[in-house]
Amino acid sequence: MSLKDQRLSELRARIPEIAVSDVLGLQQSGAILIDVREEEETAVGIPAGALRLPRGFLELRIEEHVPDPARPLLLICAGGTRSLLAAEDLLHLGYADVRSVSGGFSAWKAAGLPVEVPPRLDAGQRERYRRHLTMPEVGEAGQHRLLRSSVALIGAGGLGSPVALYLAAAGVGRLTLIDDDRVERSNLQRQILHAESRLGQDKVESGRMALLDLNPTIEVQTRKQRVEAANVLDLLAGHDVVVDGSDNLPTRYLVNDACLRLGIPVVYGAIFRFEGQVSVFGGAAAPGERPCYRCLFPEPPPSEYAPSCAEAGVLGILPGVIGTIMAAETIKLLLTLGTSLSGRLLMYDGLRGEFNELAVPVDPDCPCCSGVNPELRDLSAVCGA
């Protein structure tokens, strides 16, 4: 008997093997099926419901996916050999119930059991998103999720510029730019989406050109429209996240109310001279589970208390600081990673170089969070916009 055969014989004596016909029942009982083949092998398909964890990364990433060492684990490879070796490694890590699928994926296919063909990134995408693919929190599955995602950006100006650029670079599959303004020279001090060569162009068209130049594989839709009660639902419906980079109060209230009705989370940002703030509103499965913009600001103030950037000025770099945080919050929402800023208002003081947080609880008296769905209306007369 060769050393290899002797080794496998020893493993089979210690590690239970199961037939492919028993796997589905064990999965329904809570066991996790893990495909330990390499990525090029899984391109033709994986067992339905299996977790893909290549052998080379198994020990490094298993705890992220299966934190409970008592959870039963079923390992499958191509023919049933590598799964035995992998099972031994997991036993050494402390997992108590690890089994190997006899015959591997070959036996699975021969038995006619369900197979999923995972989506694949092409060579260009793998090169472009390589830094994402190496992160276990993102990986290939997360990158595919970004590529299938859709984000609406209200405003293609100071805040919209860094958000749009970073979302395009990250591979968010569809970006919708909503703005009714044109590019002016005074914009270029902070609106890095635009350029001197595109002065006079519609901002949405200038933004589309810049984003596709950065990443031509995504889709950029343009809406040269001002957000109003008559069109807001049509503009925002069908998106996974709405990013509100508007610079006026009527739009903020209207976007908040519409997104609550649509069930879409809003990533909110605002800037003023040297200061900025970011939060995440709405997006809960049921009204009132998470605060909305009106929980923080129930009623709009008079216009003299809320001057625009054109009236008060803004430090050119400030939209980059706030917009980058908004982009990070958007990607976290799309990938369901980490803890969002929902329930918290993050405030930045550029002169002091300080960040502070303010808790934003759900207001029990908020008319929008009550589920009543108040009438969508334009507030320009109220705000003096």
Contact 248, 383 (CB under 8 A): yes
What is the dihedral angle through the alpha carbons of 323, 326, 330, 332, rounded to the nearest 10 degrees? 120
**Residue 140 covered by a domain:** no
The CATH number of the domain holding residue 210 is: 3.40.50.720
Residue 202 phi, psi (nearest 5): -60, 140
Distance CA 244, CA 232 (A): 12
Distance CA 358, CA 173 (A): 33
Can you give the residue range of the structural domain that contains 8? 3-116
Q: Give tens-digit pLDDT for 144-195.
A: 999 999 999 999 999 999 999 999 999 999 999 999 999 999 999 999 999 9
Residues 219, 168, 213: CA angle, nearest 5 degrees? 75
Q: How many domains are there within the chain?
A: 2
**Residue 137 covered by a domain:** no
- Which tokens sit at 78? 């191509």
> Quick one: 105 and 186 in the same domain?
no
Cβ neighbours of residue 188 closer than 8 Å, sequence gap 6 or more: 194, 195, 196
Q: Which residue has the tokens 């980059």?
A: 320
> Quick one: 337 and 219 in the same domain?
yes
Q: Give tens-digit pLDDT for 13-34.
A: 899 999 999 999 999 999 999 9
Distance CA 354, CA 276 (A): 11
The answer to whether the predicted template modeling score (pTM) of the entire model surpasses 0.85 is no
Residue 8 phi, psi (nearest 5): -65, -35
The tens-digit pLDDT sequence of the chain (385 residues) is 687 778 878 888 899 999 999 999 999 999 999 999 987 888 889 999 999 899 888 988 898 889 999 999 999 999 999 999 999 999 999 999 999 999 999 999 999 999 998 788 889 999 999 999 988 789 888 999 999 999 999 999 999 999 999 999 999 999 999 999 999 999 999 999 999 999 999 999 999 999 999 999 999 999 999 999 999 999 999 999 999 999 888 999 999 999 999 999 999 999 999 999 999 999 876 667 899 999 999 887 766 556 666 667 889 999 999 999 999 999 999 999 999 999 999 999 999 999 999 999 999 888 887 666 667 877 654 443 4
**Residue 348 covered by a domain:** yes
**Residue 126 covered by a domain:** no
The CATH number of the domain holding residue 47 is: 3.40.250.10
Cβ neighbours of residue 296 closer than 8 Å, sequence gap 6 or more: 279, 281, 345, 360
**Residue 234 covered by a domain:** yes
> Quick one: 104 and 172 in the same domain?
no
**Residue 128 covered by a domain:** no
> Quick one: 81 and 170 in the same domain?
no
